[in-house]
Amino acid sequence: MNHLIKLGAAIAVPCALFCAAIGVAEAAPETSSETRPIDARVVRVKLEGVGDLRIRQGATPALVLTGDARLLSRTTTSQKGDTLNIETEGRNAGFSFGRSSGLQAELVLPNLQAVSSESVGSTVVSGFAGETLNINLDGAGSMYVSSSEYRTIKASLGGVGNLKIQGVNSEHVDLSLGGAGYVTLSGRSKNLRAELGGLGGLDAQACTVEAVTLDLSGLGNATVNAQRSANLALSGMGSVTVFGKPANRKVALDGLGKVNWK
C-alpha cells in the first residue's frame, strides 16, 4: 500500500507542475485596441490571415482592431484609393489554444461595394444598400451578410467556407460556387443565376425568385424557389429541388443528377 501511495504522489506532483505550467503558458493575454486611419473613400475591403471582421454602415468611417499586443503587431492595415487591406502576418498569428480569441476588427463605412475574405475567421456585414455588391469568400472562413438591398449581388465562394446572405432585395443575384462551400440565401430577387461546382451546395428555398438559371456540376445539391421560370442544367451527381411551381421549366440532364419539383 505504501508503495502505491508513493507512486501516486510521484505521478501527481509532476502532473500538477505540468498543468500549472500549461496554465501559465496559455493564460489569456490582456487585450488592447488600436484605431487605424481610414477615410470615406473606402468602399472595398480585403481580409487575409486569421481574424474576425465586423462591417457596419455609418456616416463616419472608422477602423478599430482588438487583440493581444503580439497579434496587433503582426496586423497591417493599408488603404489604397477605395480599397482597404487588413492582413495578419504568419500562418498561426491568431491561433490560441483552447480559446476562440484572435484579431477582432470593427469597421464602419458610409458605403460598401465589395468584400473579399481569405481568412479562417468570420466576416459579418450589415446595414448597407447600393447598386452592386461583390462578395468573394475563399479558404475556411464564413461570411454573413444582412440587409442586402443592392440592385445586383455577385458572390463567389471557394474552399470550404460558408456564405449566408439574408434580407436580399435585388434584381439580380449571381453566384459562383466551387470547392466544398455552402451558400444560404433568403429574401427576394427578380433573377438568380448560379453556377455550382465541386461539393458546394446552395439553399435558396427562402429566397423568392421570379426566374432561376442554374448550372450544377459535381456532387453538390441545390434548393431554389422559382415563381415564374426555372432553367436547369445538371451534370455529374448533384440534384436540384425546385419550390414555387414555376410554369416555365427547362431541364438538361447529363449524368446521375435529378430534379425534384415541389
C-alpha cell at 16: 500538477
Window from 19-23, 123-127, 132-136 with minimum mean pLDDT: 19-23
Rounded to whole angstroms, how far apart are CA atoms 64 and 75? Answer: 12
**Cβ-contact 260, 205 below 8 angstroms:** no
Q: Is 146 exposed, middle or buried (0-12, 13-18, 19+ CB in 10 A)?
A: middle
- For the record, the C-alpha cell of 218 comes out as 459535381
Nearest by Cα to 209 from 225, 223, 186, 221: 225
Q: Which three cell numbers stand for residue 100?
A: 476562440
Q: How confident is the model at residue 28 (pLDDT cuts 50, 70, 90)?
A: low
Multiple choice CATH, 128-262, 2.60.40.1080, 3.40.190.10, 3.90.170.10, 2.160.20.120 = 2.160.20.120
The pLDDT value recorded for residue 30 is: 80
Question: 153 vs 2, which has greater pLDDT?
Answer: 153
Sequence ranges of the domains in the chain = 128-262
Location of C-alpha cell 455609418: 58
Q: What is the pLDDT of residues 67-123, one digit of tens each?
A: 988 889 999 999 999 999 999 886 444 433 334 447 899 999 999 999 999 988 999
User: In angstroms, rounded to a whole number, what is the distance separating the alpha carbons of residues 113 and 153?
Assistant: 10
**How far apart are the C-alpha atoms of 76 and 129, rounded to whole Å?**
28
In tens, the pLDDT along 171-194 reads 999 999 988 889 999 999 999 999
